[in-house]
């Protein structure tokens, strides 16, 4: 059996962490839905930067937009291009959405990363984007910064689906759950149908190992030989351990009497979504962040190379609930070696916001360059 299809027998939905106009036009996305049981798609500023800046797929559409409104700035043009893709993907995924009762079949669109620390502006933009896309299977992606927490509550209260992104720490994840449940309570109080509201919490994986392994390598250079075995035993363990403990929080929070009241009213639990599951270290299995995190009521959004690798040689069995004590021991070992998990996850959050912001700025600059290269004659002929 196709391992991507088999994942679903264990309660995990495979989503695709990529979108580009060519895959919509060629029928590639439709084929993945049909053959692989693909259940959703995620996007982010880096994905769109590579798609728009790295191809000519969008040039004709860009010229067409300028023909109708030549005064649009690069931000307006980007969102117009992105929304066209998001709407088409949403329509292709709509049968999955209907078949799963609204838990899958989702496509995500992220708010502007330069608003990550601006609560009111993020809420306002999210509402505008949701209205423009106008698809029930849209998720608005909101970064899990401190300023993003009230955004989650506000959007869920509005009945807008939310993908909470750039989550690295279990503590912040628990704050995200609180924000989600508070939003559901407001939605219920205001008479919103809770069964139509969906949310995922995108918990990033590989970046945790990348940074902690780097810090462990630095310790190896100066540590006495007696410490080398302990340091090496800690390598490649942090990300999966961190994710397993996050899932323990998921099970605890969504089995409380408080949430059970909402569940009776039709509410869905906010599923954990494993993000950043491409393996960065060639010494590790190229599918380890899928194989080691398989469990019920979860999503794995898989980048293209990892998607191909897992389809070819992935092994599927229930793993997410295994080794929880070992996961705690791994993180305790890392802490005992002088590496603060809290400091690492906060650094990764800051770097994640900056990385997406950098991609967004590069994208807007690329759009400006494309616009500048278009003569009025070229625009008119588009």
What does the pLDDT look like over 318-341, one tens digit per residue? 999 999 999 999 999 999 999 999
The CATH number covering residue 243 comes to: 3.20.20.70
CA distance 329 to 334: 9
pLDDT of residue 56: 86
Q: How confident is the model at residue 373 (pLDDT cuts 50, 70, 90)?
A: confident
Single out the residue of 287, 202, 206 nearest to residue 239, CA to CA.
206
Instruction: Decide if 315 is catalytic.
Output: no
In terms of pLDDT, which residue wins out, 380 or 129?
A: 129
Reported as type and span, the H/E element at residue 361 is helix 341-373
What secondary structure letter does DSSP report for 143? E
Is 15's pLDDT higher than 60? Answer: yes
pLDDT of residue 53: 86
Q: Which of 2-6, 52-56, 135-139, 303-307 has the lowest mean pLDDT?
A: 52-56
**Range 230-245 burial, b when 16+ CB lie within 10 A, else e:** ebeebbbbbbbbbbbb
Q: How confident is the model at residue 379 (pLDDT cuts 50, 70, 90)?
A: very low
Give the alpha-carbon dihedral of 17, 21, 24, 29, to 10 degrees: -20
The two tokens of residue 46 are: 């880096």
Is 258's pLDDT higher than 50? Answer: yes
Is 381's pLDDT higher than 60? Answer: no
Give me the chain's average pLDDT, please. Answer: 95
Q: What are phi and psi of 275, to 5 degrees?
A: -115, 165
- Residue 132 lies in domain: 3-381
Counting the structural domains of the chain, the total is 1
List pLDDT tens digits, range 265-285.
Answer: 999 999 999 999 999 999 999
Sign of CA pseudo-dihedral 272, 354, 137, 181? positive
List pLDDT tens digits, range 95-133.
Answer: 999 999 999 999 999 999 999 999 999 999 999 999 999
pLDDT of residue 376: 60
pLDDT of residue 347: 98
Is 13's pLDDT higher than 90? Answer: yes
**List 39, 50, 141, 308, catalytic entry:** 141
Contact in structure between 240 and 327 (CB atoms under 8 Å): yes
Is 369's pLDDT higher than 50? Answer: yes
List pLDDT tens digits, range 190-230.
Answer: 999 999 999 999 999 999 999 999 999 999 999 999 899 99
CA distance 196 to 101: 8
Single out the residue of 352, 298, 304, 337 nearest to residue 320, CA to CA.
298
CA distance 382 to 380: 6
Q: In three state form, how does the secondary structure of 186-220 look?
A: HHHHCCCCHHHCCEEEEEECHHHHHHHHHHHHHHH
Mention every residue, 6+ apart, whose C-beta is less than 8 A from residue 294.
Answer: 7, 10, 12, 316, 317, 318, 319, 320
pLDDT of residue 382: 47
CA distance 66 to 196: 36
Contact in structure between 90 and 137 (CB atoms under 8 Å): yes
pLDDT of residue 70: 86
Mention every residue, 6+ apart, whose C-beta is less than 8 A from residue 14.
Answer: 4, 7, 8, 36, 37, 38, 39, 299, 300, 302, 307
Reported as type and span, the H/E element at residue 46 is helix 45-53
Contact in structure between 187 and 265 (CB atoms under 8 Å): no
What's the average model confidence in pLDDT over 184-193? 97
Q: What are phi and psi of 12, to 5 degrees?
A: -110, 135
- The rounded Cα 207 to chain-centroid distance in angstroms is 13
Q: How confident is the model at residue 375 (pLDDT cuts 50, 70, 90)?
A: low
């Amino acid at each position: 059996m196709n391992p991507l299809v088999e994942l679903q027998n264990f309660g995990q939905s495979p989503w695709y962490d990529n979108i580009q106009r060519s895959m919509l036009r060629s029928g590639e996305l439709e084929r993945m839905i049909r053959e692989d049981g693909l259940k959703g798609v995620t996007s982010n500023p880096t994905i769109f930067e590579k798609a728009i800046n790295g191809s000519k797929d969008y040039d004709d559409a860009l010229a067409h937009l300028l023909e109708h409104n030549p005064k649009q700035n690069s931000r307006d043009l980007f969102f117009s291009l992105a929304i066209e893709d998001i709407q088409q993907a949403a329509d292709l995924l709509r049968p999955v959405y209907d078949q799963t009762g609204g838990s899958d079949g989702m496509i995500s669109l992220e708010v502007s990363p330069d608003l990550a620390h601006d609560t009111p502006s993020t809420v306002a933009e999210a509402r505008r984007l949701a209205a423009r896309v106008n698809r029930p299977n849209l998720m608005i992606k909101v970064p899990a910064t401190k300023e993003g927490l009230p955004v989650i509550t506000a959007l869920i209260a509005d009945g807008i689906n939310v993908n909470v992104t750039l989550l690295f720490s279990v503590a912040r994840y628990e704050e995200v759950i609180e924000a989600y449940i508070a939003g559901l309570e407001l939605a219920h109080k205001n008479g919103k149908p809770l069964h139509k509201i969906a949310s995922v919490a995108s918990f990033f994986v590989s970046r945790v190992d990348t940074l902690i392994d780097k810090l462990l390598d630095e310790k190896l250079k100066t540590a006495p030989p007696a410490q080398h075995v302990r340091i090496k035993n800690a390598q490649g363990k942090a990300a999966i351990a961190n994710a397993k403990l996050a899932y323990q929080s998921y099970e605890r929070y969504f089995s409380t009497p408080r949430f059970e009241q909402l569940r009776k009213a039709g509410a869905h639990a906010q599923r954990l979504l494993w993000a950043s599951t491409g393996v960065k270290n060639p010494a590790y299995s190229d599918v380890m962040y899928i194989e080691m995190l398989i469990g019920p009521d979860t999503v794995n959004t898989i980048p293209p190379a990892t998607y191909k690798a897992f389809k070819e040689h992935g092994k599927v069995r229930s793993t997410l609930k295994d080794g929880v004590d070992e996961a705690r021991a791994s993180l305790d070992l890392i802490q005992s070696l002088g590496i603060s998990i809290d400091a690492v996850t906060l650094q990764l959050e800051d770097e994640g916001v900056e990385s997406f912001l950098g991609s967004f700025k590069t994208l807007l600059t690329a759009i400006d360059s494309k616009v500048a290269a278009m003569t009025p004659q070229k625009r008119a002929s588009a």
